[in-house]
Structure 1
Amino acid sequence: MKLFDKLAGTTACAALMFSALPSFAEGELNILTWEGYADPSFIEPFEAATGCSVSATYVGSNDDFAPKLAAGGGVFDLVSPSIDSTAPLIAAGFVQPIDTARIDEWNSIYEKFRTSDGINQDGEVYGVPYAWGAIAFMYRADKFDTPPTTLDALWDPALEGRISLWDDKSALYVAARANGDMDIYNLTDEQIASAQEKLIAQRPLVRKYWSSAGELVDLYKSGEVWISNTWAGYQSALLAEEGIEVVEFIPEENAEGWMDSFMIVSGTPNEECAYQFLNMAVSEVGQCGVANVNGYSVANPEAARRCMSEEQFAALHQDDPEYLDSLLLWENLGDRLGDYTNAWNAVKAQ
C-alpha cells in the first residue's frame, strides 16, 4: 500500500463542510495523539473556520496515554488511544462520555467500531472511531533473495542486528503467535511468560525497538534495519519517497488490526471546540486527511466515498469488510492489561 497524493480539493471540501458549523467557537485544543493526526493540511482549515486553535503532543505507544493524563493536570482536551488501551482511561475517569447526538455522521461509522467494547461501557459511549489498519510486517526488498512469509524471520540468527520491533506491548502479540498461541488477547499466565521468554531470546538479534514512524524510517534508510513490523501504509510510503523499496506483508501467522478513537478528556474547558474537532475528524476533511497523510483506512466509509477516488477507496479496503474481519483486531485487555505491559517492560529491562 502507498500513500496517495494530497487530496486536491481538501481546502474546498473544508470550506464546504465548515460552512455548516453552528458557530465560531474559539478556544484552544491540546491533543495527545499519533503522528499525522493533527496534520496542517486539515488542521489549518479547521482553525481558520472555527477559531479553535490546535496544539498536538505526539505519542509513540499506547502505553503513553494513561501516564501522561495522570500527570497532565488538565493539560489535554482530546486523546486518541487504540482500542485495546481505552479501558484504563475510562476506569480512571480520565475521559468523559460522548454525546453521539452531537456527532453529525455518527451513524455512518462502521457499526463494528461504534459498538466496540473498547468505547462502550455501562450504556455510555466514550470514543469517536477515527482510523484503522494493520500492524503488518515490512522488509527491504534489496536484502532478501527469498521473501519472508512467516514470523520466524524475526528470530533468524542470520539477521542479527537487522531486526526491529515496535516498542509497545503488542510485541507480546507477535511472540505469542510465533509460539503458536493465537488467542493473543486472552493469553494465560504461562503463555504470556512463554512470549516474554521468546522476546528475551530475540533481544540479541534486535538492532533497536522503534518508537515512532520517523525513527523506523531512519533505521531503514541507514541500512541498520532490514525487517520489522510497521504501521501499514505509513512508513513504507515515507521510505518510497526516499527511494528505498520495502515490501509489506501479512505473515502466515496473521497480523493484528488496530482502531483509534478520539476521546474527550474529562472536565475540558474547551468542549465546544472538542465537538467541532470530532465532527471534522469523521467528515470527509478529517477522513481523507488522515488517509492522505498516513495511508490509513478510515472509520467512516460514507465520508471516504465522497472524497476518495475509486482506486484509493479499494486500496484502503473501505469496501472490503472481510479484510477487516481477517485481522486480529485489537481487543480491550481489561484487567489483564497490566500483565501484558509488565511482561513487555521486563523484556526491555534485560
Structure 2
Amino acid sequence: MKSKLTRRTLLRGAGATGLAALAAPAIIRPAFAQAGELNVWSYSGFITDDFRRRFEEESGIRLNIRQVSDQGEQFNLMAAEEGNYSADIVCCAGHRFYQFVDAGFLEPIDMGKMTAWDRIEPEYAEATWVSRNGERWGVPLVVVTTGLLYDSQQFDKPTSWDVMFDPANAGRTTYQIQDFFQIAMNYLGYDGSAASYMDDPEQAQQAVNATRDFLIEHKGQVRRYYEAATEIQQMFVNGDVALAEAGSGPSAQLIIEGFPAGYTIPEEGGLAYAYGFNITRNATNLDNAYTFLNALLSSSENGAEIVRSTGYESVIAGTGEHLTPEERAVLALGAEERSRLSWVDVETAPFIFDLIDTAAEEIRAA
C-alpha cells in the first residue's frame, strides 16, 4: 500500500485481501435496470469488486473505473478537459470539493433522484460539508478521522494530547505538520477550524503564530515529521515511535495486521472529513449516475465491505451490524469519540490552509 495522509491528498485504502466476501441482497430492482455504461473516477477500495459485480449484473450498466490517487490530479485532469469530461462521477474530498464547485466542474445533486439518501446516517446526511451556495454537491461515502495512534504495550489508552508534549516521550512521537497543526490549535484553546476567525484574519494569524511557536518550542519531542502514511506504520513496526497523530485508515490497517496498537480521539478532539462521489457538469450518463449512487447507499452490507477495504468509517446506516465485535473495535469509533471530532470547514479551509502551510515551512526551518 502506498498512501499519503494529508488534508490535500487522499489515502488509498488497501484492498481487502484475505477477507471473506459478504453475501449481499439485490441492490437494484429489475424495474430500474438500465443499459449502458458509467465512467467513474475512484480511489482504491471505494468500489469493491463484489459491489461492482452485483451492480453490473443487476443494472446492465458497465462500470468503467479509473483509479486516481490525488485530489490535485483529478482537478488538473478535469481542467484540461475544458468541460468535455470523460468521467460522469468523480470522488472529491469533503474539504476540497469547494474548489471543484467554484471551478464549475460539478453538477449539484438532484435530491428528487436520490431515493436512497435516507440510508445515510443523519449526522452525515445533514452535515454542512456536503453543501455550498445552498446546494448539495456530492454524496458522502466514507469518513476519515485524524486522531492519536499509540503503542498499546507501552501506553494505556491516552485521554489527552498531553502525551505528545510530555518530555518523558521525547523522540518517540511523529506527526504530519499540516494535519496536526489544527489539532494543536484546538489543544491550545484556539479554533482549529478557523470558522470563528472568518471575519477577523488578524485573529486567525495570531492563533496560527502562537501554535507555530508552541510546536517549534516542542520540536525536540518529534522523532521526525512524516508525509506518507506508510512511514507511520514502518516507524511503529521498527520501534522508532510509540505515539503519532494519524489517520483512521492506516491506524486500522496496522491494528488489523496484528500490531499492538490503539487509536483514539483524545478529549481535546481530532479532525474529520468525508470523501464521496460527485456528478460532473453535463455528465453524459446522468441517469446511470443516479442509479449507481442509489445502489451504493442501499446496502449496509456494502457499507461493511467498504469499511473493510479502506479502514474508513462508512456513512451508510446499519453498517456496524455487519462487522464483528473485533472489527467494530478497530474500524468504528463510538458516539462519545465521534462527538470530539471537528469537521474541516469548507468555507474557511482556503484561507486557514494557506496560513498553516506557511507556518509549517517555518517549523521545518526552525
Same fold (TM over 0.5): yes
Q: Is there any run of 5+ residues in structure 1 with no aligned partner, and where?
A: none
Aligned-partner SS, 1:266: coil
Residue 237 of structure 2 corresponds to residue 242 of structure 1 = no
Deviation (angstroms), 1:120: 2.3
Which residue of the other structure, out of 23, 29, 39, is the alignment partner of 2:40? 29
Mapping of residues 187-202 of structure 1, within 5 Å:
187=197, 188-202=204-218
Normalising by the residue count of structure 2, what TM-score does the alignment of the two structures yield? 0.75
Aligned residue pair count: 333
Residue 143 of structure 2 corresponds to residue 132 of structure 1 = yes
Residue 190 of structure 2 corresponds to residue 181 of structure 1 = yes
Partners of 2:34 and 2:288 within 8 A in 1: no
The residue aligned with 2:174 is 164
- CA distance 1:221–1:312, change in 2 (3 Å): closer
- CA distance 1:341–1:109, change in 2 (3 Å): same
Rounded Cα–Cα distance in structure 1 between residues aligned with 2:262 and 2:336:
22
Deviation (angstroms), 1:95: 1.7
Residue 96 of structure 2 corresponds to residue 85 of structure 1 = yes
Residue 120 of structure 2 corresponds to residue 109 of structure 1 = yes
Rounded Cα–Cα distance in structure 2 between residues aligned with 1:323 and 1:157:
26
- CA distance 1:281–1:160, change in 2 (3 Å): farther
Mapping of residues 227-238 of structure 1, within 5 Å:
227-232=243-248, 234-238=249-253
Aligned-partner SS, 1:153: helix
The residue aligned with 1:223 is 239
Aligned-partner SS, 2:146: strand
Rounded Cα–Cα distance in structure 1 between residues aligned with 2:218 and 2:91:
31
The residue aligned with 2:354 is 341
Q: Structure 1, residues 307-330: CA drift from partner, whole Å, max 9, x if none? A: 625848975669x75654x13331
Rounded Cα–Cα distance in structure 2 between residues aligned with 1:130 and 1:230:
20
The residue aligned with 1:291 is 307
Deviation (angstroms), 1:112: 3.2
Q: Is there any run of 5+ residues in structure 2 with no aligned partner, and where?
A: 1-15, 198-203
Partners of 1:47 and 1:53 within 8 A in 2: no
Partners of 1:27 and 1:51 within 8 A in 2: yes
Partners of 2:185 and 2:211 within 8 A in 1: yes
Rounded Cα–Cα distance in structure 1 between residues aligned with 2:326 and 2:259:
22
Partners of 1:132 and 1:260 within 8 A in 2: yes
Residue 49 of structure 2 corresponds to residue 40 of structure 1 = yes
Which residue of the other structure, out of 106, 109, 122, is the alignment partner of 1:98? 109
In structure 2, give the amino acid aligned to 1:108. R
- CA distance 1:179–1:67, change in 2 (3 Å): farther
In structure 2, give the amino acid aligned to 1:163. T
Deviation (angstroms), 1:260: 2.6
Counting aligned pairs with the same residue, the percent is 21
Deviation (angstroms), 1:289: 1.9
Residue 345 of structure 2 corresponds to residue 332 of structure 1 = yes
The residue aligned with 1:17 is 27
Rounded Cα–Cα distance in structure 2 between residues aligned with 1:224 and 1:68:
39
In structure 1, give the amino acid aligned to 2:247. W
In structure 2, give the amino acid aligned to 1:347. A
Rounded Cα–Cα distance in structure 2 between residues aligned with 1:161 and 1:70:
43
The residue aligned with 2:163 is 153
Partners of 2:92 and 2:275 within 8 A in 1: yes
The residue aligned with 2:12 is none
Deviation (angstroms), 1:151: 1.8
Query: Could you say what the CA RMSD is over the residues aligned between the two structures, in angstroms?
Result: 3.5
Rounded Cα–Cα distance in structure 2 between residues aligned with 1:83 and 1:162:
32
Normalising by the residue count of structure 1, what TM-score does the alignment of the two structures yield? 0.78
Rounded Cα–Cα distance in structure 2 between residues aligned with 1:269 and 1:206:
50
In structure 2, give the amino acid aligned to 1:210. E
Deviation (angstroms), 1:192: 1.9
Deviation (angstroms), 1:347: 1.0
Aligned-partner SS, 1:54: strand
- CA distance 1:211–1:160, change in 2 (3 Å): same
Residue 129 of structure 2 corresponds to residue 118 of structure 1 = yes
Partners of 2:296 and 2:302 within 8 A in 1: yes
Deviation (angstroms), 1:173: 1.2
